[in-house]
Structure 1
Amino acid sequence: MLEDLGQQALINIFSHLFFIGIAFFALQALNFEKLIRANRVFQARLLYILLTVVIGSIASNFFLDYLNWSRQLQLLF
């Protein structure tokens, strides 16, 4: 039973890191320079990182929920 929890934790960690990386890659397509005030580079980078984490976490949670639901489908039959 503890093995299953450890495997699930590992899957969750890798899923979150993977989707955060994908979100970072996708956000690079946007041109944020037009939205940034002058001399606010640190704040812009912080916003970029926070957006990446939020979008990646939402996508990862969706994927993990879908994975768990698909595993529970076998309990119907």
Structure 2
Amino acid sequence: MEIYNSLGMDAAISIFSHIFFIGVTFYALQAFRMEQLFKKGRTFQIQLIYILLSIAIGSSVSNFILDITGWSRQLPYLFT
């Protein structure tokens, strides 16, 4: 039963991490003036780019953090 609790906890942490970093990335992307790269009146496309970039970058950062965390938990096995 403990393995199921561990898997559930890892899943919850992963979901929270992804959502958190996607939100932080979306906030950070607001500092860029991407409107100048697009044609005028393309509001929907600009918003879509912000969302897709936020998901791509945020998920990558979240995966990196989760990988580093997992690997650091496995380091003690190197010395056994």
- TM bracket (short chain): over 0.9
* Structure 1: unaligned runs, 5 residues or longer: none
- Trace 1:43-54 onto structure 2 (pairs within 5 A): 43-54=45-56
Quote the Cα distance in structure 1 between the aligned partners of 2:16 and 2:35: 31
Quote the Cα distance in structure 2 between the aligned partners of 1:63 and 1:3: 21
Paired amino acid for 1:17: I
Please state how far the C-alpha of 1:32 moved relative to its aligned partner: 1.1
Give the corresponding residue for 2:57: 55
* Structure 2: unaligned runs, 5 residues or longer: none
Deviations 1:20-68 (A, max 9, x none): 1110111011011111112211111111100010010000000000000
Percent pairwise identity: 55
Paired amino acid for 1:50: L
Quote the Cα distance in structure 1 between the aligned partners of 2:48 and 2:35: 14
- RMSD over aligned Cα, in angstroms? 0.8
Quote the Cα distance in structure 2 between the aligned partners of 1:65 and 1:56: 14
Aligned residues: 77
Give the corresponding residue for 2:40: 38
Bigger drift between 3-12 and 32-41 goes to: 32-41
TM-score, normalisation: structure 1: 0.95
TM-score, normalisation: structure 2: 0.91
